[in-house]
């Protein structure tokens, strides 16, 4: 009891000290109303977004080839690069504990002395990578609600309705949005665990795990290299996504403790969704099953534990995955736009907030982007193009951590990443950079040109 009291007092003192020493005069004050559970739920929502890309990675999409069973290796590489960069991300955001927007907002501070345009590019690119996820999640949830409960209402109408509900909840305040995310992410996580454990009691063909076959666009070593980097490019849009919890540092209670817990919990969920579940599903169902509707295909993974309700469990699992994916971009990613406006890097209109602190202009813009995805569709080449600014942001963030170590070595750092972690972050940045240069081209010339124009 005495030790716990001392640790609590120490954490409180450290947080108040950091807030006093690192106050950013250009930022507005935010109410600290989010705890570690809410942050972890948001991180989980970022981690499970990989499920939207499994089919494209393992099987492909039309003329765009997937990576075959070797996608497991590519997913593993993406998880390793993301976890390698995570200590640097944590150091970076805790240097600015009064800011919202996460790694992109903190990263912009590192680049501001060199180029305000680069700072804006990093921040807007971060938001631009997250905004379409609203539409992806809503389409998934709307389609399942149409099949399950409301066959007379079109899936598109239901998807738009889900976005509208999430928008209204977001405008009511962050606390309500986080509560909704905790419930949805909690149900999805329990079902994910059941899907991972269930097949272990049955016949799992483990030999598929080591039967790696890489699908290549053309023969030869360079074809294998390009195919691997194309997969790594897609992984770069989802494997690091657990970092989304860092976007709420400025509204988090005891940020030093709670943000650290949420980040590492999110990394664990990233391993679960990006590596453990795909391996078990491929070994149980075969890679071709991932091309099918997962709300139906995953039924056999629940059957050993849940029996006759396995199909219902699979449907509910994907339904809540879609709901979480719709909710998460309204939390941290919307606040990067308001933070950039507070910093003078975007028009002041983005800094407008509702009475509860919600950045209503950014929320409405994010909602509108999701609606465009719902109505207009989302071919994989378009998603690849939209993701280019986000992957660049992830790479540049590790560079910013390294840069601040050189230009501001005496700045207060509540958490100081080991030197080896900083170097590994640069390696990760180099890996994501290679994926952009060599991997994006496999999605076609329109994807390359559109991605560059977005950036």
| 442 three-class SS | helix
- Does pLDDT of 218 surpass 90? no
pLDDT tens string 221-264: 888 888 888 888 888 888 899 999 999 999 999 999 999 999 99
Q: How many residues does the chain have?
A: 455
Question: Which range marks the domain in which residue 396 is found?
Answer: 32-101+127-333+368-454
Domain count, the chain: 1
pLDDT tens string 253-275: 999 999 999 999 999 999 999 98
pLDDT tens string 66-95: 778 788 888 999 999 999 999 999 999 999
CB 104 within 8 A of CB 342: no
Residues 6 or more apart in contact with residue 77 via CB below 8 angstroms: 232, 235, 431
CB 134 within 8 A of CB 366: yes
- Does pLDDT of 101 surpass 80? yes
> Is-above-0.85 flag for pTM?
yes
Residue 357 lies in a domain: no
Residue 253 lies in a domain: yes
**DSSP conformation class of 455:** -
Residue 383 lies in a domain: yes
Residue 224 half-sphere exposure toward CB, CA atoms < 13 A: 7
**What is the distance between the alpha carbons of residues 92 and 96, in angstroms, rounded to a whole number?**
7
Residue 390 lies in a domain: yes
Q: The domain spanning residue 265 has which CATH number?
A: 1.20.1740.10
Residue 349 lies in a domain: no
CA–CA distance from 390 to each of 132, 265, 383, 398 (Å)? 12, 22, 11, 13
Ordered DSSP codes for 35-87: -HHHHHHHHHHHHGGGGGTHHHHHTEETTEE--GGGHHHHHHHHHHHHHHHHH
**What is the distance between the alpha carbons of residues 103 and 96, in angstroms, rounded to a whole number?**
10
pLDDT for 202 equals 65
Residue 355 lies in a domain: no
Residue 342 lies in a domain: no
**What is the distance between the alpha carbons of residues 106 and 217, in angstroms, rounded to a whole number?**
39
Residue 233 lies in a domain: yes
Given pLDDT bands bounded at 50, 70 and 90, which one contains residue 138? very high
Rounded (5°) CA angle 130-231-123: 25
- Does pLDDT of 151 surpass 80? yes
């Amino acid at each position: 009891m005495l030790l716990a009291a001392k640790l609590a007092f120490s954490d409180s003192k450290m947080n108040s000290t950091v807030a006093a020493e690192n106050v950013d005069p250009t930022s507005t004050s935010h109410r600290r109303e989010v705890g570690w559970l809410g942050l972890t739920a948001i991180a989980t929502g970022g981690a499970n977004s990989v499920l939207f890309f499994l089919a494209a990675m393992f099987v492909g999409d039309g003329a765009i080839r997937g990576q075959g069973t070797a996608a497991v290796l590519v997913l593993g590489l993406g998880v390793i690069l993301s976890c390698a960069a995570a200590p640097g991300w944590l150091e970076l955001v805790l240097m600015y504990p009064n800011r919202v927007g996460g790694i992109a907002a903190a990263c912009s501070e590192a680049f501001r002395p060199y180029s305000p345009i680069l700072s804006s590019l990093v921040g807007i690119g971060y938001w631009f990578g997250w905004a379409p996820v609203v539409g992806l999640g809503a389409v998934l949830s709307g389609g399942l609600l149409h099949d399950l409960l409301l066959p007379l209402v079109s899936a598109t109408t239901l998807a738009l309705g889900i976005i509208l509900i999430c928008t209204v909840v977001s405008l009511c305040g962050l606390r309500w949005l986080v509560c909704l995310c905790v419930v949805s992410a909690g149900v999805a996580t329990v079902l994910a665990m059941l899907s991972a454990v269930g097949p272990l009691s049955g016949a799992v063909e483990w030999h598929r795990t080591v039967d790696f076959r890489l699908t290549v666009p053309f023969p030869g070593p360079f074809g294998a290299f390009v195919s691997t980097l194309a997969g790594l490019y897609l992984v770069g849009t989802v494997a690091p996504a657990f970092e989304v919890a860092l976007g709420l540092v400025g509204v988090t209670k005891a940020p030093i403790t709670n943000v650290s817990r949420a980040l590492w919990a999110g990394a664990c969920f990233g391993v679960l969704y990006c590596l453990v579940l795909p391996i078990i599903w491929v070994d149980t169902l075969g890679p071709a099953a991932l091309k099918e509707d997962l709300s139906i295909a995953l039924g056999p993974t629940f059957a050993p534990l849940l029996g006759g309700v396995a199909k219902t469990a699979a449907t509910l699992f994907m339904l809540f995955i879609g709901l979480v994916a719709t909710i998460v971009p309204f939390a941290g990613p919307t606040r990067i736009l308001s933070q950039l406006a507070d910093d003078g890097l975007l028009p002041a209109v983005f800094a407008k907030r509702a009475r509860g602190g919600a950045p209503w202009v950014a929320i409405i813009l994010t909602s509108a982007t999701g609606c465009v995805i719902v109505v207009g569709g989302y071919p994989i080449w378009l998603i690849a193009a939209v993701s280019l600014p986000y992957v660049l942001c992830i790479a540049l963030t590790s560079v910013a951590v390294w840069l601040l170590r050189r230009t501001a070595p005496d700045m207060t750092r509540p958490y100081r990443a080991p030197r080896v972690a900083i170097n590994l972050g640069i390696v990760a940045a180099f890996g994501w950079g290679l994926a952009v240069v060599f991997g994006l081209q496999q999605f076609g010339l329109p994807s390359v040109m559109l991605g560059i124009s977005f950036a």
